[in-house]
Structure 1
Amino acid sequence: MSAAASLLGPASFDAGLYTDVSRLARHSPDLLDDMIAFYSAAGLVLFAVALAAAWWRARRADGTTMARALAAPLVVVVLYGVNTMVKGAVHEIRPCQAIPGSFTLESCPPAGDWSFPSNHAVIAFAAATALWAVNRRLGTAMMMAAVLMAASRVWVGVHYPHDVAAGALVGLVLAAPIVLAAGRTAPLVERARTGRLRPLLSARPAAG
C-alpha cells in the first residue's frame, strides 16, 4: 500500500464521518436514497445544461460576458484533466474498498479508480464558479447544486468527505482566475460577432 493510500485510507481523519454518513444512508427511506443516488450519478448533466444556457443568454450580453461563457466549458474540461492527474499521483483507495463493511448506494469503483480528489466535485464547482462569472443568479443556483453534488458522493459511499472538499477547492480556486482572465478576450469576441460566427455569438440587432 502506498504512503498516500495508508495516510488517507482506513485511518483517514474523517473515516469516522464517512462511516456515520454511510450509516445514515443505510437507514434512510429508499425514496430519499434513490433520489440522491440518481442525482449523484446523473446530476452533472444539469451543469452541462446550465453551461449551454449561460452561452445562450450571453448572446445578448457584452463581449466580456460572452468570452467568459465560451471559456466556461473549456475551464471545466481542463480542471477535470488536472484533477485526474492529481488522482493518479496520490493513489488514494476508495473508502468503500478500504473500510470493511462499507455501505454504498452505487457499485464501488474498481481498484485503480482513485478517490482523491473527487472528479464530480471538481466538475461541479468549476462549472458553478465559471457560471457565476457569467451570470450571478445562475452561478449562485449552480453553486448550491454543486454543494449537493459533493455531498451526494459521500452519501452514496464512494468518497470520503475530504475527497469532495478538496475537489470543491480545486474547482473554486482554479476556475475563478481562469474564467475571469478569459474576459480579456472580449475584443476578439466583438470582432467575431461581425463575421460568420455572429449567429452563435450575438442575438443583438446588427448595427445599422
Structure 2
Amino acid sequence: MARKSKVILIVDDDPDMRAYLNKLLISMGHEVYEAGNTRTALKLVQEVVPHLILLDINLDEESGFNMIGQVRKFDQYHRIKILMISSLSSKKAIDLSKKLGTDGYLIKPINNTTLSTTLKKMGPELVFPEARNIHSEYSQLTARFLGSLTKISEVSVILRSKIKFQEKRKIFIESPFLKKFDLEKTQLIIQEFSKDVTPGTYDTKIQLIGLNDNNLKNIRKLNTRKV
C-alpha cells in the first residue's frame, strides 16, 4: 500500500475492538474514524468520505450487512471499499458478503500482520479516481495577477506581466487607466500568444471589442506611448 495515508472508518459495537484497530491503523499512518452503530457510521461516511470501511457484521441489535446498501446509495460508483470483519467463519456469511459486493472478509481476531497484508494487497483499489469533466457551474475560477499596460490603440492593448498566455480567451483587467477613460466594461480577448520580453516577463496583445465612438475618441486623445 502506498505510504500516503488513507481515511479509514471502523464500524464495530465493541469499543475494545475499535480501540485495537484504531491503534493498528494509526501506527500505519492512516487517518481513522470510529462508529459503534450504522447511524453514526453513515453520517461519518458522508462527512469524511473514507477510502475504506472496516465493517463488523454483528452490531448491537443490527446487522452490518444492512449498511452496505446505504453506503452504495451514497457511493454509486463503488469507490469506497468495504472490508467485513467478523468472528463468523461460516461459508454462508462469507458468500453473502461477496454477494453484497464487499471487497474482502477478515475473521476475528485480527492481528497486525493480517491487517497490514490485506491493506497492502488492496492498495491500488484504495485510490479514488481523478475527478474529470467537472461541471461548468463549479469549474470556473478567477485568478488575479499584477501587470502593466504598455501600449494602447483603437483596437488593442499590450499587457506586460509574468503570465504567459498560450490560447485565445476572454480576460478581465482591473485598471485605473481603463476606468479613467471609461474602458473597464470593454470586452477583452487575448488576440495572440504571449511573446517573451525578458526571462519570466511576457507581452500579450489583447483585442478591444465593443468600443463606442466616445471610447475611440478618448484613445485618440492620448499623447503618450506608455500607459
TM bin, normalised by shorter chain, reads: under 0.3
Bigger strand fraction: 2
TM-score normalised to structure 1 length: 0.23
In our comparison, the structure showing a higher alpha carbon Rg is 2
Question: Higher RCO, 1 or 2 (CA under 8 Å, sep at least 6)?
Answer: 1
